Amino acid sequence: MCRNIDRGRKVLREPMKAGPGLVTLVKGDVTDTESLRNAIMGTRAVLLLHGTLHPTPIHALLLPIYWSTHAPLTLGASKSHPYFTNYIAMQDVVSCCEKYGVERVVRLTGLSCGLSPWNPVSVLFNALLSFSGRYHRLGEEVLRSSGSVQAVVLRPGGLSDGVRDGEKTRVQLDLACEIPPPARVGRADVADAAVLAGVDGSGLISGVGEHVTAAVRWVGDVEPRGQGNLEEGEKTVGEAWRKAVERGGGRGTEKRQGGWKFALAHGIYVYGLLAAVVKIALKVGGLGMRLAGF
């Protein structure tokens, strides 16, 4: 399902050529319940790759009312706001999946979603992108709250269009989600990881028997440097999944991160930075006045 059929055909041009009839494009929107219902009905697994790019308005950075978890709803934000795409949409997805007997949902979010609300990277992304990470995290928690649908959450590092050399660069999946930023990973490998998790013909992930959250990155010869050792990864995504399940880890049992923690961290950083800027401005202004003889 995609909002723009023409763009969808361009993205899926090669898969549609390789297997006529295997890929069917349906026009719809994840924020529209009817679209979700029509797309999900009759399926066994759902892969959710949607997201949004919604820069934070300047006034929303400074006014605490905008930091409330439900502020976008009460303040009339557009449907492209992360509150609707990353959070409310997930409630509708879970409801539809439970109604129509879907066995598994694979959700793509991002590596920063595993960071503490107090982490500077988390604060920066949330401050610039309308708390996108916070609403991704809340959406993940909605998925894990389902008692009948298994949730598989993939948190990739920064996405790359590059082609990986399997001898120099390998793929690592980590169920403990302890991969630190920065990290990069190819879109093709993330796509393979998502499809394998959704289809799971070998029963690998089904055998886990619970919700799964996995961080994904490349290791070895990767730019920027400092992204793990070659030995930590595997040549294929399938092998990386198998090794991750064998090692085990958190498996979706992360502690809930209340929305207020993100708002508080945001306030401390933003107002602290604002106070520092004002202080510097006053000092510079006072120095200028003294030099001018006032």
Tokens of 114: 């595993």
Rounded distance between C-alpha atoms, residue 280 and residue 289, angstroms: 14
Residues 130/81, Cβ–Cβ less than 8 Å: yes
User: What's the pLDDT score for residue 178?
Assistant: 83
* Best mean pLDDT range from 21-35, 133-147, 249-263: 133-147
Q: Is the pLDDT of residue 21 over 70?
A: no
What crossing angle do the helices spanning 132-144 and 259-291 adopt, rounded to 10°? 170
Q: Which domains, and CATH codes, for the chain?
A: 5-291 (3.40.50.720)
What are the tens digits of pLDDT across the range 121-154? 889 999 899 999 999 999 999 999 998 999 999 9
Exposed/middle/buried for residue 53 (C-beta within 10 Å: 0-12, 13-18, 19+): exposed
Share of the chain above pLDDT 70, in %: 86
Q: What is the percentage of the chain residues whose pLDDT exceeds 90?
A: 45
- pTM value is 0.86
| Tokens at 201, concatenated | 């013909």
Between β-strands 45-48 and 212-220, what pairing exists: parallel, antiparallel or unpaired? unpaired
Mean pLDDT of 201-227: 79
**Closest listed residue to residue 104, CA positions, set 46, 147, 146:** 46
pLDDT of residue 257: 64
Cα torsion angle, 50, 139, 66, 111, sign: negative
Q: What pLDDT digit, counting tens, does each position of 74-121 carry?
A: 788 889 999 999 999 999 999 999 999 999 999 999 999 988 889 988
Determine the 3-state secondary structure of 230 from DSSP: helix
> Does the structure show a pLDDT above 90 at 270?
no
Round to whole Å and give the CA distance between 238 and 229.
19
Q: Classify 170 as helix, strand or coil.
A: strand
In the chain, what is the straight-line distance between the N-terminal and C-terminal CA atoms, in Å? 67
Mean pLDDT estimate for the chain = 85
